[in-house]
Amino acid sequence: MNENFNIFINKKILIYGIGKSGISTFNFLKKYNNISIFDDNKKINLNSYIKNRFISFGKIKKNKFDLIILSPGININKCKLKNFLKKNLKIIYTDLDVFYSFYKNECITITGTNGKSTTCKLLYEVLKKSRLDVKLAGNIGYPILSVKNIKRKSIFVIEASSYQLDYSQLFNSKYAVILNISPDHLERHKTLRNYILAKFKLILNQKKGSLAFINKHDKYLKKEIKKNTYKSKIIKVETNFKNQIIKNFQNNYLSSVSNKENLAFVIEIAKKFKIKRNLLYKVIENFKGLKYRQQVIFHNKKILIINDSKSTSYSSSIEILKKSKNIYWLLGGIPKKGDKFNLPKKYHKNIKGFIFGKKYKKFSLDLKSKIKLRRFSNLKKALIGVLNEIRKDDSVKKTILLSPAAASFDSFKNFEDRGSYFNKIIGDYLDVKSIV
């Protein structure tokens, strides 16, 4: 245990937010501390033991807490306890801080605007295939404090969001990775500068002897890296595909520009762990990707259907829009503040847009002068609109692409829920084969 261990022992702690992360934090710390729980949603279905730890809004003001553990989903600027939190910023921590205080394990922590999950999963598969004891955790869906069977030699591959890093005070990762930066989550961070600073905490908190990997060609990273001095060694990853492995592999899932950049990072990190080239190559060739991230769910000579529900911004949709042909683009949800559609003009004629949901005005303003648009009240109706239009012309192969370029919370729990629903209406409600 490290020097910060005692900070989370024998304390009066408030856990704010009781999603996956909050529950795992509670279960991890309950035997050491007096814990109270608060969540903006009072109707959460939880077991009686956890419910008994809930504290009312009124009682929070009357209590003095030693520490506050903030779940990633809590927006400090819009939550019910915003004033309380702003008065207590010095005692706010995250589950990453708790983890760091209890364990000394080597961590490879990956952040960035796009590509985090794919990079984490691919790197995890590479290390696992090399027979290392490796754990996958973080924003990818496995809360860090829920990981079991941790040994001294266990290596952690962690996906870290800007939300997790923003209020982290203690977390330190031997290997830090920032894949890229583009304007994102500005509704929460307010400015691009604040968003970048949240990401850069990962590097700034590193100790001497650590390694930090950044995209050599990312304009925001190039600019930011010059503003500070660092204890860690900065490795600027070449992402323009000069690497021979990237040139030669055959894997359609990793064929996009963005996934090739992700792959460049995996290769660079693999070198530090002395992974054998033939093993690395084999894992790359066989990598199946992740659900709802450019997932091909139907493919024949006339139609290609792709589920890219994970796309929550224009920047994450643009690469697949570039590589696909005759696109019927399904998009909609809660748009990102400050997000811009920067797809080069030469691709515009290749796309027809089908906007779904109530927040259509932002998308209409962004896209109406660039691509043909139709509007629908929900995703199912938008998909039916696509299928009806496709039936009119079967002369060329078409791509139905769900890449919403927006958050899902207007109609769905999360992007997984949205992705699952899309697959369901394709499989259950619509006979795809009848239209091809």
CA distance 130 to 16: 39
Same domain, 248 and 332: no
Same domain, 86 and 114: no
**Average pLDDT of span 361-386:** 93
Domain boundary among 61, 93, 125: 93
Same domain, 224 and 323: no
CATH of the domain at 89: 3.40.50.720
Q: Which of 310, 318, 305, 311 is nearest to 256 (CA)?
A: 318
Q: What is the pLDDT of residue 247?
A: 59
45: its two tokens: 């279905």
End-to-end CA distance of the chain: 61
Of 228 and 419, which is predicted with more confidence? 419
For residue range 416-429, what is the model confidence (pLDDT) as tens digits?
Answer: 999 999 999 988 75
Task: Show the beta-strand stretches assigned E in 188-238.
Answer: 211-215, 233-237
Domain boundary among 264, 286, 308: 286
Domain boundary among 36, 64, 93: 93
- Band of pLDDT at residue 245, cut at 50, 70 and 90: low
**What is the total count of domains within the chain?**
3
For residue range 33-91, what is the model confidence (pLDDT) as tens digits?
Answer: 999 999 988 767 677 778 788 998 889 988 899 999 999 889 888 899 999 999 999 99
CA 243 to chain centre: 26
Same domain, 178 and 282: yes
How far is it between the farthest Cα atoms of the chain?
70
CB 150: neighbour CB atoms within 10 A? 14
* % of residues, the chain, pLDDT over 90: 58
Sequence-ordered alpha helix ranges (H) in 314-411: 314-323, 360-367, 379-390
Same domain, 127 and 169: yes
Same domain, 247 and 116: yes
3: its two tokens: 């020097």
Is 173 within a domain?
yes
- pTM of the entire predicted model: 0.81
**Average pLDDT of span 343-359:** 93
Give the domain range for residue 401: 295-431
Same domain, 358 and 234: no
Is 98 within a domain?
no
For residue range 16-31, what is the model confidence (pLDDT) as tens digits?
Answer: 998 889 999 999 999 9
Q: Which of 141, 155, 205 is nearest to 176 (CA)?
A: 205
